[in-house]
Structure 1
Amino acid sequence: MPTVDDDLPSGLGPEEFSARIFGADGPRTDGGLELAPFRGVRFVPEVAGDLAAVTMPPYDLIDEAAAMRLLAGGGHNIVRLNLPRASGEGYDAAGRRLRRWLDEGALAIDPDPALYVYEAARAGTVLQRGLIGGLGLRAEAEGVVLPHENVFPGPVRDRLALMTAANANLEPIFLVYEGDGDAARIVDDTAAGAPLMEFDADDGLTHRLWRVTDPASHARVAADLRGKQALIADGHHRYATYRALQARHRAAGDGPGPWDAGLALLVDSTRYPPHLGAIHRVLPDLRPDDALDRARRVFRVTGFPAEDAAVEALAAADGPAFLLGGGDALHLLTEPDPEALSRSMPSGHSARWCALDTAVLDHLLIGGVWNLPENENAIEVVHDDASAAVARARRTGGTAVILNPLKVADVLAIAGQGERVPRKSTSFGPKPRTGLVLRLLDPEGNR
């Protein structure tokens, strides 16, 4: 298999780029799924301030308005590291700021290597609990770490530039696996004790973190994970960045090092099943009336004056269905024309893949009927919140496309047979909070 070029391959579409970067060679091991302990970097509240004020949601959920609120809320908010352009700074400035915060004591390196137990709860109910560690990077062909979405070169270049300048993993990606074994028992046993940190954030969740430093527990986790495989639930572009950084070091002859792993949260889905939400689209340059007129050619259209009734009808729809918003009313699209649908689908995909709502949206509507380019400028995304998507479309004079969430069984089946669902098809959650623990790529920070 080819390695990833130092500057990343250019001129490739998302499918070819994803195949290149996920399939690139790497150090092969017989250990299977691996989550290694490391010396975590954490905020010191006495210096940095309230943890709720210095942490944030994952970077790709932060729009410009949210970034401005985070910048205004605290001088040490990790948005200044993770999205330096929001404050008008570059990647090198973010790297210098990280080192300055370490020197000032706003951030501190834990003394011993550890795995970290992370929990997100709402009103006393645990929604998410898993282990944070250094995920061993694997080529897709090894069948250990399974991507289920394609990635685009632009976001990978952005994260690679930042990761290189910071020499750190600034936020964990999120993976799920089926285990219910010794690792899961260690997670729950650890969470029965007093947490290392605990705070309520503005996302309505209580976030807690524990540290597992016992080498015997690390060995038990390693033994339990061996032979397992994990699905990337969230963070495909960051995992692709981990792989690109690994390839860069291999090309430089650096040998094994901390770049052979990436910061990740690993959740046992048999104990803590993830929530799978939809990712809605906002098309700012497509007028709602124009979108609707063209969609009528290939869909049955039903109008709804009220949003609640329209969303209920979408959820009850059988087969591919979408809700168009942005104008005065909302319109449900159902029953796509079979011939138009068949003509629009690319060859080489399974019947299950071709029936996905996001595949129908991308190829029949966005690429076919509406003839829009597939890029971040023409297509914006909103995770889970249908009302927010409709409101954003109305502000821009564009069109919102509200979707039903995919089924977990479909995502797993498609990933298991080597396919990937269309980009931005899934919103697994709850996503880990950014800023709870960071991972330095200095070898001294991983011993």
Structure 2
Amino acid sequence: MSRTGLTRDGLRLSPFRGLRYAPERVGSLAAVTSPPYDVVVRPDGLHHLETADPYNIVRLILPHGGSPDVCHRRAGETLRRWRAEGVLRADPEPALYVYEQYGEGLLQRGLIGALRLSPPEDRVVLPHEDVMPDVVAERAALMRATAANLEPLLLTYRSDEDDNRAARDARGPHGATAVIERAVRRAPLLTTTTEDGLRHRLWAVTDPAELAEVDADLSRRQALIADGHHRWATYLRLRAEQRPSPGPWDSGLVLLVDTARHPLRVRAIHRLLPRLRLPEALEALRGSFRVRRVDGPLPRALKALSDPADPANREDPGPGTAVPAIATAATATMAAGSADNAFLLAGDDGSFHLVDQPDPALLARAVPGGRPRAWRTLDATVLHSVLLERIWGVPDDPEHIRYIHDAAAAVEQVERHGGTAVLMRPVREETVRQLAQQGVMMPRKSTSFGPKPATGLVLRSLTTD
């Protein structure tokens, strides 16, 4: 994102002494990494990571214990012990880190550093989703106990929004891009391949001239939070607690990616409603949405979700689940919601049901007004304002709504334990950016940008930095 709308200087990314695993002390770097804490959603996934290596980073980001206080204290003790044993070591000098992820059809590069925190009104870093206060409180307690930023947020900016493309191409790479491209021609600090097939490489940038080049470029930029809204809110909360004394809490660990050069993938985040049985969910939709049973397996059902208007998605309701199609051409111009809203429901019987064409009158009553149409027509807005709150009466708390990034994992969970899985469609990145620039928050867990940085390759200690 460009500097448009900024009231202060833009992004200020500072070098820090990265805390990294000593390769000789662990089985492999891949064995000690983890996805971000909120992607490790299944107990079997947590167990898999814990048993991959006794020093897997998941023991810090998702510690076990009899109570939250015990969990956080254990994480702090574990981190201090690993440092004392030489399992984790601080790099000798402060650096920005060039981070590369490479896989089939994918090449993403960005910069990891300590980003100066700025108040929301400065519009330097733009969130696009609401957060859950209990999650922020839990992450804050963990950061206090460990005195560390354990995993970087994923932020994006666009280098070409205020650059003349012809002039830029004539002079070649410059600013942060040039520094990154020079770094990747050198020998990396580390290389590893995780079990998802992605290769990860890391380089340190310590040259004062290159650091100045990055700073001059990024200080004109504005960033969008792609992943890590709760951790960003946690950074701001902890900084407020430490004021007025300046110090390491004034910055937070981030990965900055220029999506003009490395576009991110945007995926949906699905909902698992463990206390709502599928037959009850379908019956409650009668007269408000169109419901059609669609054939599996999951990839075929997801294809129907991606294009619910396709004639191939014929109505095959099954007994007791169909409702008449109530939407008309008027839905194309209604004030709230959209004729295009669609969801895929799954239950423990292995069936899939396509839910679309909401009643325009219901949407007009249930979807809050006073916000841009792009927000009112989001699937996530309709899901939370209409389905969860109005039709199903599902409380907005972790016991009743769980968020799962992988559709197959959501279906597996509901088939194993019951309830209803609500599979979602991704939101276009441009929609996310436009709403963020208007200061409009999307419903929480509306998007999943990726690829996400692997947790465990570089940490930031607040006692070392």
* TM score, norm. by length of structure 2: 0.86
Looking at structure 2, the residues matched to 87 and 127 of structure 1 have their Cα atoms a distance apart, in angstroms, of: 42
1:285 aligns with 275
1:90 is paired with a residue whose SS is helix
Looking at structure 2, the residues matched to 133 and 309 of structure 1 have their Cα atoms a distance apart, in angstroms, of: 42
In the alignment, structure 1 segments of 5+ residues that lack a partner are 1-27
C-alpha displacement of 1:422: 0.5
1:60 aligns with 38
> What percentage of aligned pairs have identical amino acids?
49
Q: Which amino acid is the alignment partner of residue 277 of structure 2?
A: R
Looking at structure 1, the residues matched to 146 and 283 of structure 2 have their Cα atoms a distance apart, in angstroms, of: 49
1:265 is paired with a residue whose SS is strand
Cα RMSD after superposing both structures: 1.6
C-alpha displacement of 1:304: 1.2
Q: Which amino acid is the alignment partner of residue 131 of structure 2?
A: V
Looking at structure 2, the residues matched to 229 and 68 of structure 1 have their Cα atoms a distance apart, in angstroms, of: 39
2:284 to 289, 294, 297: 294
C-alpha displacement of 1:297: 2.4
1:171 aligns with 151
Q: Which amino acid is the alignment partner of residue 89 of structure 2?
A: A
Query: Structure 1 residues 256, 344: CA separation in 2 closer, same or farther (over 3 Å shift)?
Result: same
1:388 to 409, 424, 437: 409
Q: Which amino acid is the alignment partner of residue 135 of structure 1?
A: L
C-alpha displacement of 1:305: 2.6
1:8 aligns with none
1:44 to 22, 26, 29: 22
2:135 aligns with 155
2:64 is paired with a residue whose SS is helix
1:195 aligns with 188
1:102 to 70, 73, 83: 83
Looking at structure 1, the residues matched to 388 and 108 of structure 2 have their Cα atoms a distance apart, in angstroms, of: 34
Looking at structure 1, the residues matched to 193 and 289 of structure 2 have their Cα atoms a distance apart, in angstroms, of: 45
Is 1:81 matched up with 2:60? Answer: yes
Looking at structure 2, the residues matched to 392 and 368 of structure 1 have their Cα atoms a distance apart, in angstroms, of: 25
Looking at structure 1, the residues matched to 370 and 416 of structure 2 have their Cα atoms a distance apart, in angstroms, of: 39
In the alignment, structure 2 segments of 5+ residues that lack a partner are 1-5, 161-173, 310-339
Looking at structure 1, the residues matched to 74 and 407 of structure 2 have their Cα atoms a distance apart, in angstroms, of: 36
Alignment check: 8 A CA contact 1:299 1:334 kept? yes
Looking at structure 2, the residues matched to 379 and 185 of structure 1 have their Cα atoms a distance apart, in angstroms, of: 44
**How many equivalent pairs are there?**
412
Q: Which amino acid is the alignment partner of residue 248 of structure 1?
A: E
Q: Which amino acid is the alignment partner of residue 379 of structure 2?
A: D
2:382 aligns with 360
Is 1:309 matched up with 2:296? Answer: no
1:70 to 30, 49, 61: 49
C-alpha displacement of 1:87: 9.3
Looking at structure 1, the residues matched to 152 and 241 of structure 2 have their Cα atoms a distance apart, in angstroms, of: 21
Looking at structure 2, the residues matched to 31 and 219 of structure 1 have their Cα atoms a distance apart, in angstroms, of: 15
C-alpha displacement of 1:402: 0.9
1:145 aligns with 125
Is 1:375 matched up with 2:355? Answer: no
C-alpha displacement of 1:430: 0.3
Alignment check: 8 A CA contact 1:48 1:107 kept? no
Alignment check: 8 A CA contact 2:7 2:123 kept? no
1:268-314 deviation digits (Å, cap 9, x = unpaired): 00000000000011111111111111123211111113233321111
Alignment check: 8 A CA contact 2:63 2:75 kept? yes
Q: Which amino acid is the alignment partner of residue 340 of structure 1?
A: L
Is 1:409 matched up with 2:430? Answer: yes
Is 1:232 matched up with 2:193? Answer: no
1:19 aligns with none
1:309 is paired with a residue whose SS is helix
Looking at structure 1, the residues matched to 255 and 209 of structure 2 have their Cα atoms a distance apart, in angstroms, of: 20
Alignment check: 8 A CA contact 2:154 2:228 kept? yes
1:157-177 deviation digits (Å, cap 9, x = unpaired): 111111001111010000000
C-alpha displacement of 1:358: 0.4
Q: Which amino acid is the alignment partner of residue 188 of structure 2?
A: P
1:16 aligns with none
Q: Which has the higher helix share?
A: 1
Q: Which amino acid is the alignment partner of residue 213 of structure 2?
A: R
Alignment check: 8 A CA contact 1:95 1:165 kept? yes
